[in-house]
């Protein structure tokens, strides 16, 4: 069975202005290598503009969050149906910045993932331990607890998701996990998914995120069970993001 192409996803977070959004997404879309898949998850107000800029290219569009509710009186929230209508293929759910700042629970994250799927989007479910949790030997149990409500959505749902392992201590710090640290967690995630869907777990892409740079991408992406990356800071520079995409070919 052939492995799926690697996937590299840019997470712009709350960065940029309209001009930058169009210039950056156009530059990436115009030079994307073949033999891999890439997406950019942009702030909500840029979805229309960036969607137009990448429409004729292989660069996919994504968002950084979605409501767990379908529609209605939920001030400030954005529905999966809206994202889908704006051309999104992907949506990040459960990023550690939202788990920390908005107190998102793993149950809510799973509900968001289910809502995204129902609208035809591919959720990118983020999990990851803090520095304290790693140092006290809890990494794998934390990941397992974060994944539990997602796995409870069932095999069909999990088989069509992307999972991103992002150690909180590695995000935006310049301190990437070592390949060994990442592989250990990726293998645990793969095993958990395999417990649900057997061999088809090989088709679920498990991304690594946390200070991925052009210099570190190739080594990470060639390691077993690392199927691509979720890229924050380095996705804000076309040259760096493209170099990371190249490393995924």
Give the interface with ligand PGA as residue ranges (CB under 6 A).
Answer: 11, 166, 171-172, 209-212, 230-234
Closest by CA to 25, choosing from 62, 53, 47, 64, is: 53
Rounded Cα–Cα distance for residues 186 and 164 (Å): 9
Query: Whole-number minimum distance, CB 209 to ligand PGA, in Å?
Result: 4
**Nearer of residues 13 and 190 to ligand PGA, judged by Cβ:** 13
Query: Whole-number minimum distance, CB 110 to ligand PGA, in Å?
Result: 19
**Nearer of residues 200 and 213 to ligand PGA, judged by Cβ:** 213
Rounded Cα–Cα distance for residues 144 and 155 (Å): 16
Give the tokens for residue 213: 């740079």
Q: What is the helix (H) or strand (E) element at residue 131, kind and residue range?
A: helix 131-135
Cβ neighbours for 211, distance < 8 A, ≥ 6 positions apart: 170, 171, 172, 173, 174, 175, 176, 233
Query: Whole-number minimum distance, CB 212 to ligand PGA, in Å?
Result: 5
Q: What is the helix (H) or strand (E) element at residue 113, kind and residue range?
A: helix 106-118
**Nearer of residues 189 and 231 to ligand PGA, judged by Cβ:** 231
- Residue closest to ligand PGA (Cβ): 232
Query: Whole-number minimum distance, CB 173 to ligand PGA, in Å?
Result: 7
Q: Is 52 a catalytic residue?
A: no
**Nearer of residues 201 and 230 to ligand PGA, judged by Cβ:** 230
CA dihedral 243, 245, 247, 249 (to 10 degrees): -140
Work out the burial of residue 237: count CB atoms within 10 Å of its CB; fewer than 13 is exposed, 13-18 middle, 19 or more buried.
middle
Partner residues linked to 8 by β-bridges: 38, 229
Q: Is 95 a catalytic residue?
A: yes
The single residue of 111, 133, 166, 186 carrying the catalytic annotation is 166
Query: If you write DSSP's letter for every residue of 142-165 in order, what string do you get?
Result: HHHHHHHHHHTT-HHHHHT-EEEE
Query: Whole-number minimum distance, CB 92 to ligand PGA, in Å?
Result: 8
The single residue of 95, 111, 129, 133 carrying the catalytic annotation is 95
**Nearer of residues 59 and 170 to ligand PGA, judged by Cβ:** 170
Task: Please measure the distance between the N-terminal and C-terminal CA atoms of the chain and give it in whole angstroms.
Answer: 18
Q: Which residues are catalytic?
A: 95, 166
């Amino acid at each position: 069975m052939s492995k799926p192409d690697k996937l590299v996803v840019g997470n712009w977070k709350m960065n940029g202005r309209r001009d930058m959004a169009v210039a950056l997404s156009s530059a990436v879309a115009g030079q994307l290598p073949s033999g891999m898949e890439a997406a950019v998850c942009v702030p909500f107000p840029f979805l229309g503009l960036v969607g137009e800029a990448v429409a004729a290219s292989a660069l996919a569009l994504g968002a950084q969050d979605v409501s767990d509710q379908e529609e209605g009186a939920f001030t400030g929230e954005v529905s999966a149906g809206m994202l889908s209508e704006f051309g999104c293929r992907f949506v990040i759910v459960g990023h550690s910045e939202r788990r920390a700042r908005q107190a998102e629970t793993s149950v809510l994250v799973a509900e968001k993932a289910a809502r995204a799927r129902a609208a035809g989007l591919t959720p990118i479910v983020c999990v990851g331990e803090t520095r304290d949790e790693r140092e006290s030997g809890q990494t794998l149990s934390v990941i397992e607890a974060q994944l539990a409500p997602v796995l409870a959505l069932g095999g069909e749902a999990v088989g069509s998701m992307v999972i991103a392992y992002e150690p909180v201590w590695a995000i935006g710090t310049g301190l990437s996990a070592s390949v060994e640290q990442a592989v250990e967690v990726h293998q645990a995630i793969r095993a958990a998914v395999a417990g649900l869907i057997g061999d088809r777990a090989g088709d679920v892409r498990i991304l690594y995120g946390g200070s991925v740079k052009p210099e570190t991408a190739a080594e990470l992406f060639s390691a077993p069970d690392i199927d691509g990356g979720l890229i924050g800071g380095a996705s804000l520079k076309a040259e760096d993001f493209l170099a990371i995409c190249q490393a995924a070919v």
